[in-house]
Amino acid sequence: MMTFFPVPYKDELLYSVLARYHIRSGNVSIKATQKDVYGTDSITAIMDLPSHIYRIMENLPVGHHYTPEYLITNHTLYPFYAAFLPPDRAAKVKESMIGDNGGSIYNRIGLMASSIKLNQFFKFCPQCVEEEMNNLGELYWHRIHQIPGILVCPDHKTPLYDSQVPVRGYNKHDYRLAATETCKIITWESNYTDKTMEKVINITEDIKFLLSNNVAGI
């Protein structure tokens, strides 16, 4: 069981909250953190649509006010994908996220058969990095920055960059923290034309709306 739980920042991924928990807990191994969070050390760390959330609920500190719905709606990519699904399928995806049936989530959403290229690395906004280090003393992974197709930060209207943290392809149980060492601009993004920038900003604003409003009603 967790003796504390980091307060999630605005639009922070649940994955990122758990990465901050791991560092603050003082646990040497990720297996110890997994046991704190889930009661078992065999759960895969998923960035976008995590499952086993009921296990997190069971291990949160006494007196917490979180619900599965709150974490799913505010700190996962569920609201984005659910907006494009029939209500019954969206409801089943949410059930799978709360429960232990995480293996069915990507199939239900259609990502397995999709031609959309998923991000290979966590993305970050350099201006967000600077502001967070000044105001919070730490960084976190923003939810909207990780949605495939998002090219600019909705707050600063500036291009996003790949961090040095892969979304997949490393220890599948590990939670990787956003940090200044891994959120450095390695290669500059090509400059967008004004017309292109206008379009990508519009797309970003539309997706921000989907994340902020329960469009699916589920």
Q: How far apart are the first and last CA of the chain?
A: 29
Residue 50 has a pLDDT of 96
- What is the enclosing helix (H) or strand (E) of 171? none
Residue 58 has a pLDDT of 97
Query: What's phi and psi for 205, nearest 5 deg?
Result: -65, -40
Residue 218 has a pLDDT of 57
Residue 114 has a pLDDT of 59
Do 131 and 87 form a contact (C-beta atoms < 8 A)?
no
Cα of 82 vs its chain's centroid, Å: 15
* Calpha distance 103→17 (Å, rounded): 22
11 C-beta neighbours (distance < 10 Å), count: 19
Residue 103 has a pLDDT of 79
Residue 112 has a pLDDT of 54
Residue 192 has a pLDDT of 79
Residues contacting residue 207 through CB under 8 Å, at least 6 positions apart? 80, 144, 147, 149, 150
Residues contacting residue 181 through CB under 8 Å, at least 6 positions apart? 164
Residue 214 has a pLDDT of 72
Do 85 and 109 form a contact (C-beta atoms < 8 A)?
yes
Whole-structure pTM value: 0.92
Residue 129 has a pLDDT of 98
Rg over CA atoms, the chain: 17
Residue 207 has a pLDDT of 94
Do 102 and 52 form a contact (C-beta atoms < 8 A)?
yes
* Chain segment 145-204, per-residue pLDDT in tens: 999 989 999 999 999 999 999 998 778 889 999 999 999 988 766 677 889 999 999 999
* Calpha distance 9→57 (Å, rounded): 18
- Using CB atoms within 10 Å of the CB of residue 198, give its burial: 0 to 12 exposed, 13 to 18 middle, 19+ buried: exposed
Tens-binned pLDDT, residue by residue, of the chain (218 aa): 999 999 999 999 999 999 999 999 999 999 999 999 999 999 999 999 999 999 999 999 999 999 999 999 999 999 999 999 999 999 999 999 999 988 789 888 876 555 667 899 999 999 999 999 999 999 999 999 999 989 999 999 999 999 999 998 778 889 999 999 999 988 766 677 889 999 999 999 999 999 988 766 55
